[in-house]
Amino acid sequence: MTLYVKNMVCDRCIMIVNQQLQNLGFEVGEISLGKVTVQPDPDAAKLQDISSALQVLGFELIDKEKDQLIEQIKTEVINLVHYSDLNEINQSLMHLIADRLNKDYAYLSRSFSDAEGITIERYIIQQKTEKVKELLEYGELNLNEISYKMGYSSSAHLSAQFKAITGFSPSKYKAAKDQNRKSLDKIG
């Protein structure tokens, strides 16, 4: 059975969910951000046990089809923004997500906006902003390199978008003592 798990946004989350399910006596098959396959199929009581065990750790089982779709969109965005080189992607992220989920983009966009109160595009920009914050804090890349890696047309475009979201230019953010990064599951 495939379970969909909300707030499963990083490799550490995968490890924790995997360990928790094994502790509950399940054999974990395929596991990725937001999704895990378990054997044997849990009955209603076992699903409640899984839900309770995961909830204590900040995760949530998703049972409604529309909620699963929203979580899949978020997972795709996180995978693309945080674990890919966006400069290598030759199409819009929104259309790439629609292709990967095999759904009409207009349907995904409408569903996401209805559920989250923001557009997919805005969610992507927020995720990109958090990734830029991370890269600025590491200090390994200059702004031009970051803008290239993140798929921006120029560092000026990145700077304008970054300032619109954070209220700071990238250089002012980097110089600030109180850098305010958000965890990936809190964006939106």
For residues 8 and 50, membership in a common domain is answered with yes
Domain contains 187:
no
Please, what is the end-to-end C-alpha distance for the chain in angstroms? 29
Residues 45 and 81 in one domain: no
We report the CATH number of the domain holding residue 14 as 3.30.70.100
Q: How many domains does the chain have?
A: 2
Interval 72-93 mean pLDDT:
88
Q: Is residue 53 in a domain?
A: yes
* Same domain (yes/no): 142, 55: no
Q: What angle do CA 182, 184, 188 make, to 5 degrees?
A: 80
Question: Do 89 and 32 reside in the same domain of the chain?
Answer: no
Give me the domain span that covers residue 142.
65-182
Q: What is the pLDDT of residues 31-61, one digit of tens each?
A: 998 899 999 999 989 999 999 999 999 999 9
Q: Do 35 and 95 sit in the same domain of this protein?
A: no
Asked, for residue 135, whether it belongs to a domain, the answer is yes
**DSSP helix/strand/coil, 150:** coil
Q: Which residues lie closer than 8 Å to 73 by C-beta, 6 or more apart?
A: 97, 101, 108, 112, 120
For 166, other C-beta atoms within 10 Å of its C-beta total: 18
Q: Which CB contacts under 8 angstroms, 24+ apart, belong to 106-109?
A: 108/69, 108/73
Query: Are 121 and 92 a contacting pair, CB within 8 Å?
Result: no
Model pLDDT for residues 96-120, shown as the tens digit of each residue: 999 999 999 999 999 999 999 999 9
> For residue 188, is it within any domain?
no
How many other CB atoms are found less than 10 A from the CB of residue 7?
A: 21
Tally of CB atoms within 10 A around 29: 11
The domain that contains 144 carries what CATH number? Answer: 1.10.10.60
pLDDT reading at 171 higher than 70: yes
Q: Tell me the average pLDDT of the chain.
A: 90
pLDDT interval class at 179 (50, 70, 90): low
Share above pLDDT 90 across residues of the chain, in percent, rounded to a whole number: 65
> Do 43 and 8 share a structural domain?
yes
- In this prediction, residue 66 has a pLDDT band, given cuts at 50, 70 and 90, of confident
Residue 174: the pLDDT is: 85
pLDDT at residue 29 tops 90 = yes
pLDDT above 90 (res 9) = no
Element (H, E) at 88: none
Same domain? 93 vs 19:
no
Euclidean distance between CA atoms 10 and 185, whole angstroms: 10
Residues 27, 115: one domain? no
Closest of 155, 83, 69 to residue 113, by C-alpha: 69
C-alpha to C-alpha distance for 59 and 76, rounded to whole angstroms: 18
Indicate the SS3 state at residue 98.
Answer: helix
Please write the tens of the pLDDT for every residue from 117-163.
Answer: 999 999 999 999 999 999 998 889 999 999 999 999 999 999 999 99
pLDDT over 70 percentage in the chain: 94
Domain end, chosen from 43, 63, 83, is at 63
Looking at the structure, do residues 137 and 88 belong to the same domain, yes or no?
A: yes
